[in-house]
Amino acid sequence: MSSVATTQIKLTPERTRPRVSVRSRLQDALPKLVLAPSFAITIVFVYGFILWTVYLSFTNSKTFPSYVITGSRAYQRLWRWTFDTDPPSSWYTSITNMGIFGFLYIFICLALGLFLAILLDQKIRGEGALRPIYLYPMALSFIVTGVAWKWFLDPGLGLEQTLHQWGWTSFHFDWIKNKDFVIYTVVIAGVWQASGFIMAMFLAGLRGIDGEIMKAAQIDGATTFQLYRRIVIPLLRPIFLSAFIVLAHLAIKSYDLVVALTSGGPGGSAWLPSNFMYEYTFKRNEMAVGSASAVIMLMTIVAIIVPYLYSELREKPR
Amino acid sequence: MSAVATSTRQAPGGMNVKLANRIVIYGLLALFAVFYLMPLFVMLVTSFKTMDEIQNGNMLALPRAPTFEPWLKAWGETCVGLTCAGIKGYFWNSIKMVVPAVLISTMLGALNGYVLTKWRFRGATLVFGLMLFACFIPFQSVLLPMATILGSLGRFGVTLQNTFGTSFGLGNPTVNLVFVHVVYGIGFTTLFFRNYYEAFPTELVKAAQVDGASFFQIFRRIMLPNSLPIIVVTVIYQFTNIWNDFLFASAYAGTGDAMPMTVALNNVVNTSTGVVEYNVNMAAAMIAALPTLLVYVLAGRYFVRGLMAGAVKG
């Protein structure tokens, strides 16, 4: 092994003793020096900036940042708005939408992804052609997805119009213009984009299951349904967890799709907290409130991700 | 269900049931294929139609007289806000932003992964954990401070411009976006390379070390030549993410000539002056989608692997 490496790397023989020690000291520190810039950047631009945002949320910053702490007024306002349901406050709308969108998006993506993966795992001819069809939306930008679905769901141009032309004149589908239903169109487009990827995750998981277990269960007389219900799905637990993490953090970060698909919806009725943050910070000159909402978003992510990362990184050395 | 499944193995009539099963499965798969293809299909056919045909025809019909006009118009003439010079300039903005951002973040990720796996030190896991968590933060929580810093750098750039005749790129929106994407991309690239190098035989590195190879020699001669798959995965992942980004792009280059493609597309579609030219909008959307779609078609396997690596750690 070592002879291989010597052929590639020549040592300079005329080194003097002190130079070796300086050089070796440098060599020892080199790995850390190489990592240091990236680490420093992360500390400053991620953790430092997060603290900065937290700080701003306790000031009375409006159009421009102010650095005088004035207490938790921004949070108090958000808290009050949480219960402002009639007429609904922007914050109430945003977090309600987050609940609806988050739940449906995660649930449907998981269900549809698993369902498609199981179907595709039935020794399908043409699987190689079908898989990329299910998966390609993941390569698109949310903006492109939004533009495409905006057209498709537009009552005057898209699906409704087409079905009218085909003779189903009573068909009515104007969710995208309806303030009570617009968030569901975001769910449709979001599911369209991500479910294929979740399918791929489950499919990889299914392919990793030991065929012997399946055979043994079949010999024992398990039906197909029992086989999946009792054996396969429990074995896919880690995939469920990973997929959930991916979807949850995609859902909380969702911003572009709402903008491109609905432009915020009638009267901001399609806003998610991310849109709320952007609008309040950059358009409505309520920087402190915007920052407070960003902190709440971050806390939600922390609650989901940190336990996950902790367990992932801790298990490693075993 | 249970009766069906058992009968397939025993009864001779099972063949029919099995066939019916297959038909149902293929039918469902085809149905979903239609669901996934529909928006792309509609976008594509619409982009080749005339406005007349769009208003009077069926959304799903193929264009009667396919025309490239909308594509040419989207590329060279359509209005983005008040400037009517097409989206071509914004397309190049995106390229100018994506290429350096991808290269720098990938290179840093490779070095970081190398250090974190082959030159372990006390606290390496904590360092990695902190960098990894950065991948998941909602960028809203750093958006405003970054805007403030970029603003100050921009003003400093103007001072430099006045004194030295060059701003050294400070205040240039494209440079800003490259910087932002590198900063918030390092977590992912480090993750990719770390997981890949974890499985790389450490004995090889040790042996080279014994023979006196330096830190960088080992990296260049041993690690890099064996990293092609993960480099491809990382480049594709970063390319797709950065090309598709909208939040940073709209916050730091949301107006003016430096807009990236995604922001320009959103502006084209939401420009409300005059008649809305749906065919041009769709052509613009297709142009915005083409680079990442092309990557997906050419290197789908690596694309999926990248997504997986980002999702399933270890």
Instruction: Record the tokens describing residue A28, joined without a space.
Output: 């020892």
Q: Which domain holds residue B129?
A: 69-311
Residues B119, B13 share a domain:
no
Whether the Cβ atoms of residue A144 and residue A259 lie closer than 8 Å to each other: no
Chain B, residues 66-105, CB within 8 A of chain A, namely none
Q: What is the pLDDT of residue B66?
A: 86
Could B296 and A245 be called an inter-chain contact, meaning their C-beta atoms sit closer than 8 Å?
no
Q: What confidence tens digit (pLDDT) does each residue in B228-263 have?
A: 888 988 998 899 999 999 999 999 987 878 899 999
Residue B139 lies in a domain: yes
Residues with Cβ < 8 Å from B310, sequence gap 6 or more? A246, B135, B188, B191, B192, B237
Contacting A residues, span 128-167, partner chain B, CB-CB under 8 Å? 130, 132-145, 147-152, 157-159, 161-162, 165
Q: Quick one: CA dihedral B73, B75, B79, B84, positive or negative? A: negative
Within a domain: B292: yes
Confidence at residue B29, expressed as pLDDT on a 0 to 100 scale: 93
The answer to whether the Cβ–Cβ distance between A31 and B183 falls below 8 Å is no
Nearest CB to B108: which of A38, A165, A305? Answer: A38
SS3 B216: helix
B130, B138, B304: residue with CB nearest A252: B138
Question: Given this model, what pLDDT does residue A195 score?
Answer: 93
What tens digit of pLDDT does each residue of B59-90 get?
Answer: 888 888 888 888 998 898 888 877 788 888 89
Do the chains contact at B2 and A6, CB–CB below 8 Å? no
pLDDT of residue A20: 61
In a domain, B305, yes or no: yes
* B164 lies in the same domain as B15: no
Chain B neighbors of A245, CB-CB under 8 A: 311
Chain B 135-154, residues with CB within 8 Å of chain A CB atoms: 136-146, 148
Is the confidence at residue B3, as pLDDT, over 60?
Answer: no
- The domain that holds B99 is classified in CATH as 1.10.3720.10
Residues B23 and B81 in one domain: no
Name residue B80's beta-bridge partners.
Answer: B83
With a CB cutoff of 8 Å and minimum separation 6, the contacts of B213 are A5, A8, A9, B221, B222
- B139/B272 same-domain check: yes
Burial B276-298 (b: 16+ CB within 10 A, else e): ebbbbbbbbbbbbbebbbebbee
Please tell me whether residues B31 and B76 are part of one structural domain. no
In a shared domain, residues B295 and B188: yes
Whether B146 and B16 share a structural domain: no
Q: A100 CB near a chain B CB, below 8 Å?
A: no
Closest by CA position to A179, among listed A275, A262, A84 = A262
Cβ contact (<8 Å) for A297 and B140?
Answer: yes
B300 and A132 in contact by Cβ < 8 A? yes
Q: Does the pLDDT at position B280 exceed 50?
A: yes
Q: Do B269 and A161 touch (CB under 8 A)?
A: no
Mean pLDDT (chain A) is 84
Closest-CA distance of chain B to residue A183, Å: 19
Q: What pLDDT is recorded for position B4?
A: 42
Determine which of B2, B42, B137 to mutate to test the interface with A (most A C-beta atoms within 10 Å): B137
CA–CA distance, B95 with A180 (Å, rounded to integer): 39
Question: Distance from B166 to chain A by nearest Cα, in Å?
Answer: 25
Q: Which residues of chain A have pLDDT under 70?
A: 1-20, 315-318
Same-domain status, B25 and B100: no
Q: Is residue B207 part of a domain?
A: yes
Residue B77 within any structural domain of the chain: yes
Classify the complex by whether its ipTM is higher than 0.90, answering yes or no.
no
**C-alpha–C-alpha distance, residues A43 and A54, integer Å:** 15
* Cβ under 8 Å to B: A residues 30-89: 30-32, 34-35, 37-39, 41-43, 45-50, 52-53, 56, 65
- A120: alpha, beta or left, given left = phi > 0 and alpha = psi -120 to 50? alpha
Q: Give how many domains chain B has, as a whole number.
A: 2
B266/A282 CB distance under 8 A = no
Neighbours of A15 (CB within 10 A): 11
Confidence at B103, pLDDT banded by 50, 70, 90? very high
Chain A positions touching B211 (Cβ under 8 A) are: 2, 5-6, 9, 11
Q: Which residues of B touch A306 (CB under 8 A)?
A: 133
Alpha carbon distance A199, B2 (integer Å): 26
Model's pTM, two decimal places? 0.86
Please give the pLDDT value at position A190.
94
Q: Name the minimum distance, in Å, from the CA of A294 to any CA of chain B.
A: 5
Assigned domain for B7 exists: yes
Domains of chain A: 2-57 (no CATH), 73-315 (1.10.3720.10)
Please state whether the peptide bond connecting residue A87 to the residue before it is cis, i.e. omega within 30 degrees of 0. Answer: yes
B176-222: per-residue pLDDT in tens? 999 999 999 999 899 889 988 988 888 988 899 888 888 899 999 99
User: Does B33 contact A134 at a Cβ distance shorter than 8 Å?
Assistant: yes
Asked if residue B134 has pLDDT above 70, the reply is yes
pLDDT at position B310 is 61
pLDDT, residue B274, reads 67
3-class secondary structure, B169: coil
**What does residue B80 show for φ and ψ, rounded to 5 degrees?**
-110, 105
The pLDDT value given to residue B311: 58
What is the spatial distance between Cα B287 and Cα B71, in angstroms, rounded to a whole number?
8
- Partnered with residue A168 across adjacent β-strands are none
Tell me how far apart the alpha carbons of residues B314 and B304 are, in angstroms, rounded to a whole number: 16
In a shared domain, residues B6 and B79 = no
Could you tell me if B29 and B131 lie in one domain?
no
Q: Judge whether B84 lies within some domain.
A: yes
Residues B32 and B93 in one domain: no
Stretch B49-65: mean pLDDT: 83
With b for 16 or more beta-carbon neighbours within 10 A and e for fewer, the A234-257 pattern comes to: ebbeebbebbbbbbbbbbbbbbbb
Q: Does residue B24 share a domain with residue B125? A: no
Q: What is the pLDDT of residue B272?
A: 64
d(CA A277, CA A121): 42
Q: Is B45 contained in some domain?
A: no
